[in-house]
Structure 1
């Protein structure tokens, strides 16, 4: 509550040093859905701290005797740009340079900033990414912080790949007059996942999301239609 906008944005949050708090945070992060993510956390902070080109410097940074790679091209959505498939971190980390060389590179940082002009700006949504990015991301990343083997999977019912025949017709007796506003909201969110290709066909998350979408359609009273060229 003591945070002031003119302070560094990172000072907006405090954290506990207790190890016991780590697992709840990880569970919350695993449960977060796409429309709950703040993709541009600095957008309301620019009046106090204007954006500087040096922020898009890509390469080695140093602090004392420590050095760390800084690769803003991997999080372009935080800077208001469409996310593209970035280069491998090894383009930076495989090159062994001294602390003195980092100083020299930093003095000429303009030669090492991400070329956002070649990438392009966002046009509509802050989660926009180029075609093929989500397929690439699903191959090189993992969807959960907590590994599946560490979860209490015995309490979670196993979900089978969805087919329309698994669910009764929305005109059936079980659903007459039982449409649900919450289901409609869930349906809209899940449909957005497919429309923006955030779920990749052939992956487990695609099957699970599609099953949930069908159930949300049934609960909200939406008729199930499969549009040509549209996944889900």
Structure 2
């Protein structure tokens, strides 16, 4: 729960350590998620050069979904009863970010694992609260939780999501965030109609989604000359949609 200094935490959390015999009763996983989402929001802003939050959580997610990007090996003693991050043995990474960027530029569908937790569901079922769409908070820190923007990770075809303000408007007080989560949970879940169709092929997506993504997201970071020819144009889906419209 430390800030970007990695040495300090908010005084708010002292109350949870007054009785160490009760520490295990608190939901530290949810608190870690809020902090990670909060600082990831900050890290996406121009000019931010630091990151805070539960880095093991983030690294575990990255390696689970992009297994070929890391040199970390799988622990032979891992079982699904253990936390997912315990599956990997830390190894030496690349100090130069250019290697990772080149790898990302050359990735194909076969390099992704969109639903890596399927085998883990017997130990950690996907509960309804995971479909909550709105603000989460821990102490004075808050972060948006918007599962409708990552439907592919849940096995559904990704479409153009609604505006984040529809479920997580800015300007809410901490009390209002608490009320929405505690009293309006059922009304704020992404229901089956909103989830849409289940994925059949790895490349499934709703028409228009890729073009939308290139308009609102950040598909290009810092352009660097590739060491090898790219296996496909990075905007292939957009080019196909434009060609179809022109025809």
Same fold (TM over 0.5): yes
1:121 aligns with 2:159: no
Match of 1:5 in 2: 80
Match of 2:114 in 1: 39
| 1: CA distance, partners of 2:180 / 2:168 | 15
Q: State which of 189, 200, 209 in structure 1 corresponds to 2:238.
A: 200
Shift of 1:35: 2.0
Structure 1 stretches lacking a partner, 5+ long: 160-185, 208-228
| 1: CA distance, partners of 2:155 / 2:85 | 19
| 1: CA distance, partners of 2:84 / 2:170 | 32
Taking only aligned residues, the RMSD between alpha carbons, in angstroms, comes to: 3.7
Match of 1:58 in 2: 133
Moved more, 49-58 or 4-13: 4-13
Larger radius of gyration: 1
| Change in 2 beyond 3 A, CA 1:3/1:62 | farther
The normalised TM-score by structure 2 is: 0.56
Match of 2:182 in 1: 107
Q: State which of 87, 92, 95 in structure 1 corresponds to 2:170.
A: 95
Match of 1:135 in 2: 211
1:78-103 CA-to-partner distances (Å, cap 9, x unmatched) read: 11111110012233454311222222
> Contact conserved, 2:147 with 2:190, CA < 8 A, in 1?
yes
Match of 2:105 in 1: 30
> Contact conserved, 2:133 with 2:168, CA < 8 A, in 1?
no
The normalised TM-score by structure 1 is: 0.59
Runs of 4+ in 1 over 6 A off after TM superposition: 16-19
Structure 2 stretches lacking a partner, 5+ long: 1-74
Shift of 1:107: 1.3
> Contact conserved, 1:56 with 1:113, CA < 8 A, in 2?
yes
| 1: CA distance, partners of 2:228 / 2:154 | 38
Shift of 1:123: 4.8
